[in-house]
């Protein structure tokens, strides 16, 4: 199943060899930024561990419906992994029998565990039942408590090469023009590219590009024309996504990436990014959409006068 993970050939080879030779440690920590497929990789590893010969059980693992792959994910308004859920899983693996030769506890975004949850998990990590594999995912190794990190083998996912990313997107029916745009904004984060291949997201990215171009040219009317339709949205998610797309695009330029049909410089991107992030913060704080977008347009148009060409 690990073969389904795109790129990361060395990581896949190491994990596959460890599984085949029976030397996989009882704890594995998969690190990778959003969009690199860390949670997908965790499910693939769990499927290979539980069902090395394949079969219908692997599909249940990938769907999150396997009795032998116990899932923990952030939840609730605080987006954390509650301590009672960790204790519940601990009780299940200590008191119930196995239906297969092993069992997996898969903890997605393990950095969302607070101290009580981490301590509850640590007790299980220190003396795990035989046949139990822990697979944790996180955005950064540094975000996991050292006491937990030290009990896991750490593997880091890498971006897919941009050229490979574009070829994969083309196989998924994405036009070459759209593929170039997605790869420029998200690099080799194939997961992010695949999520953004929809007609709506590609339109949002195109509008984000037009917004940044209009900002450096001081085109106030274009800025308002692009943002006014958002004020009529009943849901905030499309607005958040548009602002995030704009920030990601500016961030790509700031990193030295050439985004197709975007004419801003890294210096200009550095000036434009703060007001966009400020608008995102206001939106997250339930600020008035019309006011925050109007202010954003005024800031972008005003800053354009001072932007170096």
Q: Is 60 exceeded by the pLDDT of residue 306? A: no
Query: Are residues 146 and 27 part of one domain?
Result: yes
57 in a domain, yes or no? yes
Q: Are residues 54 and 141 in the same domain?
A: yes
Residue 136 lies in a domain: yes
For the cut 90, the answer to whether the pLDDT of residue 129 exceeds it is no
139 and 181 fall within a common domain: no
* Number of structural domains found in the chain: 3
Which pTM was predicted? 0.78
Asked if 136 and 205 sit in the same domain, the reply is: no
Is 190 contained in some domain? yes
Residue 162: pLDDT band by 50, 70, 90 thresholds? confident
148, 173, 197 - which closes a domain: 197
* One domain, residues 127 and 11: yes
Read off the CATH number of the domain in which 10 is found.
Answer: 3.40.50.300
What average pLDDT does this structure show over 94-106?
A: 74
By CB atoms closer than 10 A (0-12, 13-18, 19+), residue 221 is exposed
Give the chain's largest Cα–Cα span. 69
Q: How confident is the model at residue 20 (pLDDT cuts 50, 70, 90)?
A: very high
Give domain status of residue 309, yes or no. no
What is the pLDDT of the chain when averaged over all its residues? Answer: 90
Is residue 167 located within the same domain as residue 88? no
Same domain? For 32 and 118 the reply is yes
User: In this predicted structure, what is the pLDDT of residue 19?
Assistant: 93
| Residue owning tokens 């994990």 | 15
Look at residues 279, 282, 257, 267 and name the one whose alpha carbon lies nearest to residue 216: 267
Domain closes at, from 156, 182, 215: 156
Q: Report yes or no: 227 and 299 within 8 Å, Cβ to Cβ.
A: no
Q: With bands split at pLDDT 50, 70 and 90, how would you rate the model's confidence at 296?
A: very high
Residues 109-127 have a mean pLDDT of 91
Same domain, 79 and 144: yes
Is 83 within a domain?
yes
Residue 309 pLDDT exceeds 70: no
Q: What is the mean pLDDT of residues 199-212?
A: 95
Residue whose pair of structure tokens reads 């795109």 in the numeric block? 6
Which residues constitute the domain of residue 86? 2-156
- 17 with 114, same domain: the answer is yes
Is 50 inside a domain boundary?
yes
Tell me: the pLDDT tens digits for 68-78? Answer: 999 999 998 88
Buried b (16+ CB within 10 A) or exposed e, 253-278: bbeebebeebebeeebbebbbebbbe
pLDDT at 61 over 90: yes
Looking at 146, 179, 197, the residue that finishes a domain is: 197
Q: Taking residues 258-271, what's their average pLDDT?
A: 95
């Amino acid at each position: 199943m690990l073969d389904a993970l795109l790129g990361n050939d060395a990581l896949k080879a190491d994990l596959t060899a460890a599984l085949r030779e029976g030397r996989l440690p009882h704890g594995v920590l998969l690190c990778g930024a959003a969009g690199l497929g860390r949670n997908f990789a965790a499910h693939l590893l769990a499927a290979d561990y539980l069902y090395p010969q394949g079969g219908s059980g692997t599909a249940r693992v990938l769907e999150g419906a396997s009795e032998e792959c116990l899932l923990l994910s952030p939840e609730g308004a605080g987006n954390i992994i509650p301590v009672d859920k960790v204790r519940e899983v601990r009780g299940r693996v200590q008191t119930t029998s196995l239906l297969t030769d092993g069992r997996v506890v898969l903890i997605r975004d393990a950095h969302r565990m607070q101290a009580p949850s981490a301590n509850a998990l640590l007790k299980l990590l220190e003396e795990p039942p035989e046949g139990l594999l822990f697979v944790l995912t996180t955005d950064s190794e540094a975000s996991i408590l050292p006491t937990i990190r030290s009990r896991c083998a750490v593997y880091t996912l890498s971006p897919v090469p941009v050229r490979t990313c574009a070829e994969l997107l083309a196989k998924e029916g994405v036009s070459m023009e759209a593929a170039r745009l997605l790869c420029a904004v998200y690099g080799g984060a194939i997961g992010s590219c695949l999520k953004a291949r929809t007609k709506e997201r590609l339109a949002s990215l195109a509008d984000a590009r037009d917004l940044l171009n209009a900002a450096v040219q001081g085109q106030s009317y274009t800025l308002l024309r692009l943002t006014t339709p958002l004020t009529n949205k009943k849901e905030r998610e499309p607005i958040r996504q548009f602002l995030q797309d704009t920030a990601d695009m500016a961030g790509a330029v700031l990193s030295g990436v050439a985004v197709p049909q975007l004419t801003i410089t890294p210096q200009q991107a550095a000036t434009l990014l703060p007001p966009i992030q400020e608008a995102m913060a206001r939106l997250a704080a339930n600020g008035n959409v019309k006011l925050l977008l109007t202010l954003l347009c005024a800031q972008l148009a005003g800053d354009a006068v001072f932007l170096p060409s």
